[in-house]
Structure 1
Amino acid sequence: MDTLNEPQEKDQECCHDHRKSHHSEKTKKNLTTRLNRIEGQIRGIKGLIEKDTYCDDVITQIAATTAALNGVAKLLLEAHMKSCILERVQDGDHEALDELLITIQKLMKK
Structure 2
Amino acid sequence: MTHNRFPTRICLSKNIIRRNSVMSHYTHLTIFERARIFLLHEKGYSLRKIASDIHRSPATVSRELNRNSEEKYSPSQANRKYATRRKNCGRRKILNNPRVWAIVRRLI
TM-score (norm: length of structure 1): 0.26
Which one has the largest radius of gyration? 2
Query: Please, what TM-score do these two structures have when normalized by structure 2?
Result: 0.27
Higher strand share: 2
Q: Higher helix fraction: Structure 1 or Structure 2?
A: 1
